[in-house]
Amino acid sequence: MSTLSYSSLKSASNLRDHDDRQRNTRHRNILVLILEYLKESALLESADALVRETKSAHHQDISALKVCDNMDLSTILLEYECSYLARLQKKPRFIREILPEEKAKATTSSAREAAQVGRVGDDLSQSDGDADRELLQRSPHQDHGDTQSRSDGPPLTRLSLIGRMKAALETYRCHNGDEMYELAVTISREMFLDDPNVHWDDIKGMEDAKRLVKEAVVYPVKYPDLFQGILAPWRGLLLTGPPGTGKTMLAKAVATECKTAFFNITASTVVSKWRGESEKLIRVLFDLARKCAPTCIFLDELDSLMGQRGEHNEHEGSRRMKTEILIQMDGLARCNDVVFVLAASNLPWELDTAMVRRLEKRVFVDLPGVEARQAMFAAFLPAVLEHHPLGMTTQLDYIELARLTMGYSGSDIYGICKETAMRALRKILAVLDDESGATGYSCLDQTVSVDPIVTADVVKVLHYTKPVETERGLAKYKEWKQQFEAS
């Protein structure tokens, strides 16, 4: 008889959220206490630097906060000393000198790190935490490309994800060779996304795909107690379908929703940049992913990474790298760490069958239906374009536009909307650039205004924008889907 109840499952999940929130509140409190202490000690430049850094790294203005009257760092330390003394009959030791060998190790590895990215810092003795600092200084929205992301600040768990990655790097620094540590730092810089910031409601349509992905990955992370034995979660999930249909968005939404660490690997980065070292890179990547678990590894453009082994005159390094991915995926199946491999491919029929077998769950991401297209037009070109200083507006018949765009992908529609808005802006740019006065306007005596974007403007762009996917291509997906998709 099961002892689980809806409320216990829900509260286990809520508890995890609560822990994350508490960790972040504690982190913020520490920063404010430090700020106050720096000010009291007249270390004003450091105080300013702390405010600036916190703003850029965490989108938080700690200068707007103040320590409560009965609190300060010295009091907290004093109280800790007293309680420690009472418990252990001795005073706590807070600091010690850095040993020469520790200093030397930190200096050399930091110098190598900096050299690797072509930026040796001025003061190597301070560059001990370069990798950490870089992690913390990232903008939460970098690496997003054209994905429509929200600007309401980092989610609460961003800090704990960064914390997990920092701890994993620290383990590498202490227990693995310098070469492995360097690879780990590279992965953390170039492939680790602490905040993919894509939410389910950013993804229009795709209800079936969203449901399947939630069942396969999101719920097992949220309610692990339910997914045991035969219900143990799938470790590998393949998202396939025409280009630009939102496969990457789906993977990012999983990571955002589950608050998992997210590693974004594209074939081009691995194959071209690390050809010689790609095998090692994959090993370190999976190892880091386990250390940061729960984690999603997103392998994009899997077809270029995982074509049939031994085909044509395949490069030896590339063959070894693929074999390493297969070995690592087998390793995941045997371990208890929650690491999901999400892979995306536009050419599933070109995939290595051994890999397809390991990606047990296959989800077909189809072209958007009419309702999804309508929702996309409304999201990309709403009545008032947000965050635009010109206050651009639209008057669009979304139903008609959705009707006219059958066969277009989400990415096609995004491109059309962007081009339409750009055309409206071009009229302004022409006036601004018109030094000869050929347009007949003088921008000096006019307020800048743009006409609302109307349906005909979008239709004009539509006339010369054809969908990326062809009928023939779609038929091939259908054939593959029938053969392989497991629903």
Ligand X SMILES: Nc1ncnc2c1ncn2[C@@H]1O[C@H](COP(=O)(O)OP(=O)(O)OP(=O)(O)O)[C@@H](O)[C@H]1O
Residues that bind ligand X (CB under 6 A): 146-148, 203-206, 243-249, 344, 346, 368, 376, 410-411, 414
> Smallest distance, Å, CB 147 to ligand X?
4
> Smallest distance, Å, CB 235 to ligand X?
21
Give the helix/strand (H/E) hosting 461: helix 455-463
Rounded Cα distance between 63 and 50, Å, is 9
Nearer to ligand X by Cβ, of 205 and 348: the residue is 205
> Smallest distance, Å, CB 412 to ligand X?
8
Rounded Cα distance between 240 and 198, Å, is 19
Give every CB contact of residue 146 below 8 A, 6+ residues apart in sequence.
414
Give every CB contact of residue 28 below 8 A, 6+ residues apart in sequence.
60, 62, 65
Nearer to ligand X by Cβ, of 159 and 249: the residue is 249
Nearer to ligand X by Cβ, of 163 and 348: the residue is 348
Neighbours of 362 (CB within 10 A): 21
Nearer to ligand X by Cβ, of 234 and 414: the residue is 414
> Smallest distance, Å, CB 51 to ligand X?
34
Nearer to ligand X by Cβ, of 163 and 410: the residue is 410
Instruction: Select from 162, 331, 294, 165 the least CA-distant residue to 219.
Output: 294
> Smallest distance, Å, CB 394 to ligand X?
17
DSSP H helical segments within 359-397, as ranges?
Answer: 370-380
DSSP 253-274: HHHHHHT-EEEEEEHHIIIIIS
163, two tokens: 């914390």
Rounded Cα distance between 143 and 361, Å, is 27
Give me the phi and psi of 23, to 5 degrees please: -60, -40
Is residue 453 helix, strand or coil? strand
Nearer to ligand X by Cβ, of 69 and 146: the residue is 146
> Smallest distance, Å, CB 427 to ligand X?
25
Give the helix/strand (H/E) hosting 6: helix 6-40
**205 contacts 379 by C-beta, under 8 angstroms:** no
Nearer to ligand X by Cβ, of 181 and 380: the residue is 380
Instruction: Select from 371, 274, 355, 259 the least CA-distant residue to 315.
Output: 274
Nearer to ligand X by Cβ, of 163 and 242: the residue is 242
Nearer to ligand X by Cβ, of 119 and 478: the residue is 478
Rounded Cα distance between 124 and 107, Å, is 6
> Smallest distance, Å, CB 401 to ligand X?
15
Beta bridge partners of 297: 263, 341
β 192-193/261-266 pair status: antiparallel
Rounded Cα distance between 35 and 41, Å, is 10
Nearer to ligand X by Cβ, of 165 and 306: the residue is 306
Q: Among all residues, whose Cβ is closest to ligand X?
A: 410
Nearer to ligand X by Cβ, of 188 and 248: the residue is 248
Nearer to ligand X by Cβ, of 186 and 411: the residue is 411
Rounded Cα distance between 249 and 346, Å, is 14
What one-letter code names the amino acid at 369? G
Query: Where do we find the tokens 């309702």?
Result: 371
Give every CB contact of residue 285 below 8 A, 6+ residues apart in sequence.
187, 191, 263, 265, 297
> Smallest distance, Å, CB 155 to ligand X?
19
> Smallest distance, Å, CB 364 to ligand X?
11
> Smallest distance, Å, CB 372 to ligand X?
6
> Smallest distance, Å, CB 300 to ligand X?
6
Helix axes 178-190, 130-137, angle to 10 degrees: 10
Give every CB contact of residue 386 below 8 A, 6+ residues apart in sequence.
none
> Smallest distance, Å, CB 244 to ligand X?
5
